[in-house]
Structure 1
Amino acid sequence: MPHPGRLRPDAVVVSFRNGLHNARLLRDGLPGATVLAGMVPYNVARTAPGTFHQGTGGALMLDGAPASAPLVAALTAAGLPVEPRDHMRQVQHAKLLMNLNNAVNALSGLPLREQLGARPYRTCLALCQEEALAAFAAEGVRPARLGPVPARLTPRILRLPDALFRRIAAAGLRVDAHARSSMRDDLEHGRATEISSLRGEVVAMAERRGLTPPVNARLVSLVHEAERPGGRRSWSGPELLHALRQP
């Protein structure tokens, strides 16, 4: 977190971290500062010290408040696609739905394109998203539409046979062969993952509304197990799907 004494009084801080509450946490820690929410839609993986690989495309999104205008202009001038949005809460919930694949990908041990090309892994993600969408609805939040398909239809598309899925989702799933989730990188380098601030948020939200999210809760447990030395970090699609469907 930036140190309050090192910021100019007119500084604008934008949080591009995953999760729903980072902007609020920054506001709490930086009283008086202008803090805006942002969102990074694409996958970035650390491939070597000082080297990062962008495996998917998309435009940065951030709060469309007037205070963001100078940053939007600077990013545009630098050639970075950026899109101001008026309803960042809905955008962040939509990104959280996307982030639910991070744990599935991490436990698959596969590049994103290969993992998303396999129906059993996609079914795991569909189960997770259905629980999340139910929790969002109970909270009165309709996630923003970030791609060609409304969020509520995504679980149905994920369950399609592989050939049909590739035809329908091709435009929205341009993923290069090397892309993988940052959570997989965390596991391989022995770092704590962000599972609690992502999938754990879905579990907490659902339970707060009296719902039961067994699939997401189970994945939280599996990732925490994988974080431990000697923990299992590689699951086939059928194995993971079977584990998530266990009562």
Structure 2
Amino acid sequence: MRIVIAGAGSIGCFCGGLLALGGHDVTLLGRAPLLARIGAHGLRLSDYGGLDLHLGADRLTLATDPACLAQAELVIVTVKTPATAEMASAIATHAPASAPVLSWQNGLENTRQLRARLPGRDIRAGMVPFNVVPLGEATWHRASSGDIVIAAGPGGLGAALTVPGLPVAESLRIEAVQWGKLVINLNNALNALSGLTLVQQLADRSWRRLMAAQMAEALAVLRAAEIPVAATTPLPAWTTPHILRLPNTLFTRIAARMLTVDPSARSSMAYDLEAGRMTEIASLQGEIIRLGRAHDVATPICSRVAALIDAATHDGAGPPRLTVAQIAPPG
């Protein structure tokens, strides 16, 4: 397929590179400085399991002009939430109405925006479970495990997009899957505030207890709203807070069977704070806070974390390296 990756960042470059290596005709639509580095060095992809692949720039089409969307048979949107409205306008202007649009973005707000701005088109939510971090000039490293899931629909897109190193499954319960990922992704903000790697954070039981308390708060909100949640790990979603609270020895044994995390991995929100970019806090903690208000369920932890991320974003000094005691709300 002729695929346009609408937003060549970490997820877009990593997935786009694997799709190109798998035989698809891939265009990376992104910003000039990043594309210039790919043009000069090609694209190198690595991961926690030893993957190490190089893709020459001649195997990709690099574009800064959204007019490239006119050639798309499939559009995969990978921009951050603040840029979704602008990308939707570009798709509306340039992309063929027959081209499905997949959202490989965090949260649920992005798919809502795309559907509202692109009526009548095949818009499908997706869930990307793994973390990708930039390394070097044009290297992207997959730092955690998991397979992509997209909404079920016509055309067999899951099977068509499945290439070596990138399985893509389809689900009839994609919103429940997205909510499950959102609950896990609430830790993005905690990790960004901590200044730690994910492995360091998970090794500290005090951090895990705060992670668990935030997840339990979110799950209580979702129960009150009668929103189903599908786990993104082998165990049911409601068990995850209990597992996080376990002593280190037990937690390490169970977690090793559920998730692989590279020692260098940090959340994408940590990189956003370092780069002075807007974060996706409104699409993560913000979703839980809004639902909590609507259903009269208190969300003190999510509210505190969101306020701290907003303050760090405004300050512009990068991750503030706070302790658990500095983050946990009184009481």
Give yes or no for TM over 0.5: yes
1:74 equivalenced with 2:160 (yes/no): yes
Measured after TM superposition, the shift of residue 172 of structure 1 is 1.1
Amino acid at match of 1:141: I
Contact preservation (8 Å) 1:38, 1:88: yes
1:33 equivalenced with 2:136 (yes/no): no
Match of 2:110 in 1: 22
Match of 1:217 in 2: 303
Match of 2:288 in 1: 202
**Alpha-carbon displacement from aligned partner over 1:7-45 (angstroms, at most 9, x marks no partner):** 112110011110112112101111221101101010112
Which fold has the larger relative contact order, with Cα–Cα distance below 8 Å and residues 6 or more apart in sequence? 1
Amino acid at match of 1:10: S
Contact preservation (8 Å) 1:53, 1:179: no
Q: Is the strand fraction higher in 1 or 2? A: 2
Query: If you compute each CA radius of gyration, which structure gives the higher value, 1 or 2?
Result: 2
Match of 1:246 in 2: 330
Q: Please, which of 186, 191, 198 is the counterpart of residue 277 of structure 2?
A: 191
Measured after TM superposition, the shift of residue 162 of structure 1 is 1.2
CA distance in 1, matches of 2:196, 2:178: 26
Measured after TM superposition, the shift of residue 206 of structure 1 is 0.7
SS of 1:53 mapped into structure 2: strand
1:42 equivalenced with 2:122 (yes/no): no
- Normalising by structure 2, we get a TM-score of 0.70
Measured after TM superposition, the shift of residue 153 of structure 1 is 1.1
**Alpha-carbon displacement from aligned partner over 1:76-100 (angstroms, at most 9, x marks no partner):** 2454111111101100100001101
Flag the 1:160–1:79 CA change in 2: closer, same or farther, 3 A. Answer: closer
Q: Please, which of 100, 103, 113 is the counterpart of residue 186 of structure 2?
A: 100
Structure 2 unaligned regions, length at least 5:
1-86
SS of 1:66 mapped into structure 2: coil
CA distance in 2, matches of 1:203, 1:10: 37
1:178 equivalenced with 2:249 (yes/no): no
**Alpha-carbon displacement from aligned partner over 1:192-230 (angstroms, at most 9, x marks no partner):** 111111111111111110111001100001111111135
SS of 1:177 mapped into structure 2: coil
**Alpha-carbon displacement from aligned partner over 1:111-136 (angstroms, at most 9, x marks no partner):** 11111111111111111111110111
1:233 equivalenced with 2:317 (yes/no): no
Flag the 1:232–1:45 CA change in 2: closer, same or farther, 3 A. Answer: closer
Measured after TM superposition, the shift of residue 48 of structure 1 is 4.1
SS of 1:212 mapped into structure 2: coil
Contact preservation (8 Å) 1:23, 1:35: yes
Structure 1 unaligned regions, length at least 5:
none
Match of 2:47 in 1: none
Q: State the identity as a percent.
A: 42
Contact preservation (8 Å) 1:46, 1:185: no
1:148 equivalenced with 2:234 (yes/no): yes
Flag the 1:78–1:5 CA change in 2: closer, same or farther, 3 A. Answer: farther
Q: Please, which of 140, 152, 155 is the counterpart of residue 52 of structure 1?
A: 140
Contact preservation (8 Å) 2:133, 2:141: yes
